[in-house]
Amino acid sequence: MLSHLQFPDHEMMSANTADIIADTIKADPSLVLCMASGHTPARTCELLVEKILNQGIDHSRLSFIGLDEWVGLPGNNEGSCRYFFEHKIFSPLQMDPSQYHLFDALSNDLETELRKMDQLILKKGIDLMVVGIGMNGHIGFNEPGTPFTSLCHVADLDEITTSVGQKYFKEVTTLSRGITVGLGHLMNARHLILIANGARKAGVVQRALEGPVDPSFPASIVQRHENVTIITDFEAASLLGKS
């Protein structure tokens, strides 16, 4: 089942997304949560931390999986996904390192990184997965053409991803590969939430929800998911029903 929640602005959609995540943790304290970093979920993460702390929600048994990472980027680089999660989630919640699982993008054995994450996901399953959508329709670093059955993998990044990705960095940064949880895992997540905001994303949201379901546009996979909630602001939803 696909449902679409729309809100007037990014703040309200972030608050509602954070509510859903917080309520899910409340209902199942040993939840396995897989999340994307990026500009779209940033506010959701901040509000989620506030809610967890203000409401005293038990997060001591929560397991957290980071969706992806730029290969070769150290975790102290402000544009890395590790930096994002450490500052927005792990440190404010004082999470124990045993609770979170991020790809080590500096490893010289990425194959082992991939298999470790695959095994973890296959063993525990992802209960809730929160992802964004890129300007080329990617989810995580599942770039156009990625098979819908893919497990964790290393991807050569699309030109759109490497140019749009510069927005996360203070200086021009060479980005060429990404390591990511694959679309096969996303399909098996018990609940998937895809978030998008801003007029810039209206075209990709329209294509994801109303275009052909095809690996050339990875986010179209949401149309096949059994339990997916799309959460957008009005701007990102503005082209729906108009083609």
| Binding positions for ligand PGA, rule: CB under 6 A | 38-40, 132-134
Q: Closest CB to ligand PGA among 13 and 59?
A: 13
Q: Measured in whole angstroms, how far is the alpha carbon of residue 155 from the centre of its chain? A: 16
Residue 227's closest CA among 182, 186, 172? 186
Identify whether 68 is a catalytic site residue: yes
Task: Please tell me which residue in 59, 68, 127, 235 is annotated as part of the active site.
Answer: 68
Task: Please tell me which residue in 16, 136, 142, 197 is annotated as part of the active site.
Answer: 136
Using DSSP, state whether 183 is helix, strand or coil: helix
Angle between helices 39-54 and 10-27 (to 10 degrees): 50
Shortest distance in whole angstroms from residue 178 CB to ligand PGA: 10
Q: Closest CB to ligand PGA among 40 and 238?
A: 40
Task: Please tell me which residue in 59, 138, 153, 225 is annotated as part of the active site.
Answer: 138
Residue 86's closest CA among 75, 99, 72, 70? 75
Q: Closest CB to ligand PGA among 59 and 228?
A: 228
> Distance between CA atoms of 209 and 232, rounded to whole angstroms?
12
Shortest distance in whole angstroms from residue 154 CB to ligand PGA: 17
Shortest distance in whole angstroms from residue 84 CB to ligand PGA: 10
Shortest distance in whole angstroms from residue 134 CB to ligand PGA: 3
Q: Closest CB to ligand PGA among 59 and 197?
A: 197
- Exposed / middle / buried, residue 55 (Cβ in 10 Å: 0-12, 13-18, 19+): exposed
Residues in CB range of 32: below 8 A, 6 or more apart:
63, 65, 124, 125, 126, 127, 128
Long-range contacts of 112-120 (CB under 8 A, 24+ apart): 113/152, 113/179, 114/151, 114/152, 114/153, 114/154, 114/179, 115/152, 117/65, 117/152, 117/181, 118/151, 118/152, 118/185, 120/65
Identify whether 138 is a catalytic site residue: yes
Cα distances (Å, whole numbers) of residue 220 to 180, 183, 225: 18, 11, 10
Shortest distance in whole angstroms from residue 232 CB to ligand PGA: 12
Identify whether 143 is a catalytic site residue: yes
Q: Closest CB to ligand PGA among 39 and 115?
A: 39
Q: Which residues are catalytic?
A: 68, 136, 138, 143
